[in-house]
Amino acid sequence: MASTLFSTARYSDSLTVVGISVCTALVCEAISWLLIYRTSSYKSLKSSIDKASKKLETMKTSDATAVSSNLIKKSSRTKKIDRVETSLKESSRDLSLFKFKSGAVVALVLFMVFGLLNSLFEGKAVAKIPFVPIRVVQKMSHRGLLGDDMTDCSMAFLYLLCSISIRTNLQKFLGFSPPRGAAGAGLFPMPDPKSS
């Protein structure tokens, strides 16, 4: 009886966390659209980054296939590539700064939501992980939980997983993903932090 109640509560808890993550993602994107995405500054910066990165790709591709070994031509091509790269980096930096200023509001919303979830689910396992995570991950997955069962999943870990998956896909779906040419789109691209 106790284990039934426990598993029932845990499943509804995990659904609650997912539901709140979805709502938070929608609210954050709405705020970001109001403060960032619909502004002309953002649109012009994004457009210049897209153009610069496409131009850079074309120049690097034609540079790689160039037959001529003329040193003067090579150095002028290299200088042009350097100029475009510098312009791309400056535009990316300006975009980051622009988003950072407006992202403070979204950060406040996220902080409040996390505080609410923490107060609701502190010390409670909201789900069961199907394997024992590695030690580094356990610090997050077993955060605030009692006992030695490392397959118990804390609210913070589930919320993190939901946030990353839901927000990344939502941004992609709405077309609010950061431009690919912008700096910081590495091996593990996270949802755009400046808008969240």
Partner 1 sequence: MRERKSGKSNLQQQSQESDHNSHSSPFKLAKLLDPDATWDKDQLCDVLHWIRQALALVFGLVWGAIPLVGGIWFLLYFVLSTTIIYTYYAIVLKIDEEDFGGHTALLQEGLFASVCLFLVCNLHISSFLKQVTSNLPT
Q: Which two tokens stand for residue 75?
A: 């150095």
Q: Which two tokens stand for residue 25?
A: 């993602």
Residue 41 vs 104, nearer CB to partner 1: 41
Q: Which of residues 126-145 bind partner 1 (CB under 8 A)?
A: 127-132
Of 47-55, 72-80, 85-93, 97-105: span binding partner 1 (CB under 8 A):
47-55
Q: Does 57 bind partner 1 (CB under 8 A)?
A: yes
Could you give the angle at which helices 155-174 and 2-32 cross, rounded to 10 degrees? Answer: 40
Query: SS3 of 152, please?
Result: strand
What minimum distance in Å lies between the beta carbon of 2 and partner 1? 10
Nearest one of 95, 112, 116, 64 to 194, comparing CA atoms: 95
Q: Does 65 bind partner 1 (CB under 8 A)?
A: yes
Q: Does 68 bind partner 1 (CB under 8 A)?
A: no
Residue ranges in 33-70 assigned as alpha helix (H)? 40-64
Contact 3, 125 (CB under 8 A): no
Binds partner 1 by CB under 8 A, chosen from 27, 50, 77, 107: 50
What minimum distance in Å lies between the beta carbon of 63 and partner 1? 12
Residue 112 vs 132, nearer CB to partner 1: 132
Q: E strands within the chain?
A: 125-128, 152-154
Q: How big is the CA angle at 82 (ends 79 and 83), to the nearest 5 degrees? A: 90
Q: Does 51 bind partner 1 (CB under 8 A)?
A: yes
Residues that bind partner 1 (CB under 8 A): 3-4, 7-8, 10-11, 14-15, 18, 50-51, 54-55, 57-58, 61-62, 65, 127-132, 153, 158, 160-162, 164-165, 168-169, 172, 180, 187-191
